[in-house]
Structures are given as structure tokens and as C-alpha cells.
Amino acid sequence: MARKVMARPDTARPSAKAAANATPARKTGRARSGRGLFSFETLRQPLISRRVFLVRMAWSVVIWFAIMLFGLAVGMAGYAGFEGMGLVDAYLNAAMILSGMGPVSELHTQAGKVFAGTYAIFSGLIIVLATGVVLAPIIHHVLHAFHIDMDDDGKPD
């Protein structure tokens, strides 16, 4: 004897019309593919609007600022810990090294000198990383705009 299976109302699929008019029950907060901060538009997608580009740039600047604050905090902690500097002197030395200007105060301990050299290398990497975070959206936007102007065969319109 064949048994008839009936779908429960809460698991039944909605009709196409109902699905088209439905709104999601809740947002998960996760970015969909292609919608994240560093998910740039692909070759086949149109150029983003100026507003979306400016929002992307604003987030890049926020990330740049956070990277710089992190680098400054590492330097201040190192100068305060290894050289016994006060917070103002540690800030001054860390900011000068991070900006590429060089140290201000004379270092007295071997550990402080090793830290200063290591921090100088670290600061150079921080500058390169932070610059890349800010320039990536600009470079991508310009290249994408040039690419849109080309036909499928790779020749300009």
C-alpha cells in the first residue's frame, strides 16, 4: 500500500509569485560574494557609481587610519618599555620613525637600539601596506573604467 506523504506547511516551497514579493526574514550581516569591502567589480560588471566609490574610499581611509594607529601604538609601547620614555616622548619618537623622519631622542639601552631598528623596518612595511589599502580602490576604478571602453576583442571603441 502506497503511503501518501504531505508536505508540512512550514517546509513547503512558496510559489514563484510569492517568492518574488517576499522580503527576507532577517539579514545575517554577512557580505554576499562581490559585496564585501575588498570585493571589487569584475570584468563583466558595470563601473560602480560615484557614491559607492566614495563609500569604498572612506572605508579604505578608515582602515588606513587603523593601521597607522596600530603602528604608532607598537612604537609607543616599545619606546616606553625599552627606553623608559614617557608617553609624549615615546609618541614623538614613534611618530617620527613611522613618518620616515628618523628618531628624535638618543637611545641609551641596547634593547632600545635593537627595538628602534626593528621598528624602523616594521614602519616601512606599515607605510607600504597602508598605502596599498588606500590606492587599491583608486587603481582598480581607473583600470576598470579603461577596460569598459574596450570591445570584447580588446580594441578600443
Class of the 64-151 domain?
mainly alpha
CA distances from 59 to 38, 62, 131, 152, 153 (A): 10, 5, 13, 33, 35
Confidence of residue 131 (pLDDT cuts 50, 70, 90): very high
Q: How far apart are CA 135 and CA 60, in angstroms?
A: 9
Question: Do 45 and 51 touch, CB atoms closer than 8 A?
Answer: no
110-148 vs 87-98: helix crossing angle, rounded to 10: 50
Other Cβ atoms less than 10 A from the Cβ of 78: the count is: 23
Confidence of residue 9 (pLDDT cuts 50, 70, 90): low
Residue among 144, 126, 22 at smallest CA distance from 68: 126
SS3 11: coil
Other Cβ atoms less than 10 A from the Cβ of 91: the count is: 17
Domain boundaries, the chain: 64-151
What's the confidence (pLDDT) of residue 27? 45
Return phi, psi of residue 156, to 5°. Answer: -60, 150
Residue among 134, 130, 80, 56 at smallest CA distance from 100: 130
What's the confidence (pLDDT) of residue 156? 57
- Give CA 5 to chain center in angstroms: 51
Question: Counting runs of H as helices and runs of E as strands, what totals does the chain give?
Answer: 4, 0
Average pLDDT of span 98-110: 92
Say whether pLDDT at 105 is over 80: yes
**Tens digit of pLDDT for each residue in 46-84?**
888 889 889 989 999 999 999 999 999 999 999 999 999
